[in-house]
Amino acid sequence: MKVLVTGGAGFIGSHVVDRLLQEGHDVVVVDNLVTGKRKNVPKAAQFYKLDIENPKLERIFRNERPSIVFHLAAQMNVRRSVEDPMFDAQVNVLGTLNVLEQASKHGARKVIFSSSGGAIYGEQLAFPAPETHITQPLSPYGISKLCGEHYLGYYHRLSGIQVVSLRYANVYGPRQDPEGEAGVVAIFIQKMLRGEQAVVNGNGRQTRDFVFVEDVVESNLMAMGPEVEGVYNVGTGIETSVNDLFKIVVDLTKVEFKEVHGPAKRGEQARSVIDSTKLHRDLGWEPKVDLREGLRRTVEYFRDGLG
């Protein structure tokens, strides 16, 4: 099957591309390489360097005619969205609109959208939050992801194209970029391995639902099924505080750093954990990699990169 992956040179997208190729699909990657890396794209995939909001995307869809589109390209830094909401909307709203317009126009059967279970729900009223939880995002990033979901619904009603929104918890793992994607796991690990002090934002009691990238990839592959549509949370349902995360990473990196706390960041919620019961019930998905094992694998990846 011909499959197009936006953001396929990035952290999650490149893992999705690897798995699609392993399954025998014909893969096309579109990525502007702002945060993605060309080395993450296998030679077996057709690669186009392009912004998703660029009108030239139409030519790629017209020539490649993908059956399924995985839309992972995004401005994904919550803090940058607070600092520059116009840029966030340009990429995450107008870029998503361009992808949906071209997919609908050029015969794609389905669009699988990488959304955000952490940012969309805002300060939660239920723990863990199901898909039916009220959506009240605190950041422009969360707003733009929710807007993307609504546009998916519009194009489904307009053209009949199938749409799936996967609301990820906090994804971590090998290839995560501590600079471009601001993942706390990658930041902590890289700093500690370099002998630098990692700083905990705020009091560190804020919690997140950390889900390993391989488990997230599995949810994407399951979403390809012809009967799969709608919104699904992708998380572990387990809350971990940033302070506890810091302790585990200290143990795995075998460094002796004490917790150092800095100011809290705007736009970040206090608790975030999502309920993936629907994904398990409908598709049989469940997280297979626990936090300590996933962090161990991630530490080894970064350690190899520094060697």
**What pLDDT, in 10s, does the model give residues 236-270?**
999 999 999 999 999 999 998 899 999 998 767 89
Asked whether residue 13 falls in the same domain as residue 133, the answer is yes
Asked whether residue 81 falls in the same domain as residue 106, the answer is yes
**What pLDDT, in 10s, does the model give residues 88-135?**
999 999 999 999 999 999 999 999 999 999 899 999 999 999 999 999
- Single out the catalytic residue among 141, 151, 172, 232: 141
- Does residue 142 register a pLDDT over 80? yes
Which H or E run contains 46? Answer: strand 46-49
Q: What is the pLDDT of residue 177?
A: 86
- Among candidate residues 103, 138, 120, 168, the one with its CA nearest the CA of residue 265: 138
Burial of 244 (0-12, 13-18, 19+ CB in 10 A): middle
Asked whether residue 260 falls in the same domain as residue 152, the answer is no
Q: Which residue has the higher pLDDT, 167 or 266?
A: 167
Q: What is the pLDDT of residue 307?
A: 56
**What pLDDT, in 10s, does the model give residues 278-303?**
999 999 999 999 999 999 999 999 99
**What pLDDT, in 10s, does the model give residues 265-278?**
876 789 999 999 99
Collapsed DSSP state (helix, strand, coil) of residue 233: strand
CATH number at residue 258: 3.90.25.10
Asked whether residue 203 falls in the same domain as residue 299, the answer is yes
* Model pTM score: 0.97
**What pLDDT, in 10s, does the model give residues 176-223?**
988 654 589 999 999 999 999 999 999 999 999 999 999 999 999 999
Q: What is the pLDDT of residue 63?
A: 98
Asked whether residue 104 falls in the same domain as residue 251, the answer is no
- Does residue 224 register a pLDDT over 90? yes
CATH number at residue 7: 3.40.50.720
Helices 140-159, 95-105: inter-axial angle, 10-degree rounding = 20
Asked whether residue 258 falls in the same domain as residue 154, the answer is no
d(CA 234, CA 286): 9
Asked whether residue 189 falls in the same domain as residue 152, the answer is no
Q: What is the pLDDT of residue 179?
A: 67
Q: How many CB atoms lie within 10 A of CB 257?
A: 16
Asked whether residue 155 falls in the same domain as residue 16, the answer is yes
Asked whether residue 125 falls in the same domain as residue 184, the answer is no
Asked whether residue 85 falls in the same domain as residue 202, the answer is no
Q: What is the pLDDT of residue 269?
A: 84
141 part of the active site:
yes
Pull the structure tokens for residue 307.
């060697």
Tally the domains of the chain. 2
Provide the domain limits for residue 246. Answer: 172-207+239-273+289-306
- Does residue 53 register a pLDDT over 70? yes
Q: What is the pLDDT of residue 183?
A: 87
d(CA 97, CA 155): 9
Asked whether residue 104 falls in the same domain as residue 148, the answer is yes
Asked whether residue 7 falls in the same domain as residue 115, the answer is yes
Q: Which residue has the higher pLDDT, 145 or 180?
A: 145
- Round the average pLDDT of the chain to a whole number and report it: 96
189, 194, 196, 199 alpha-carbon torsion, rounded to 10°:
-10
Q: What is the pLDDT of residue 79?
A: 84
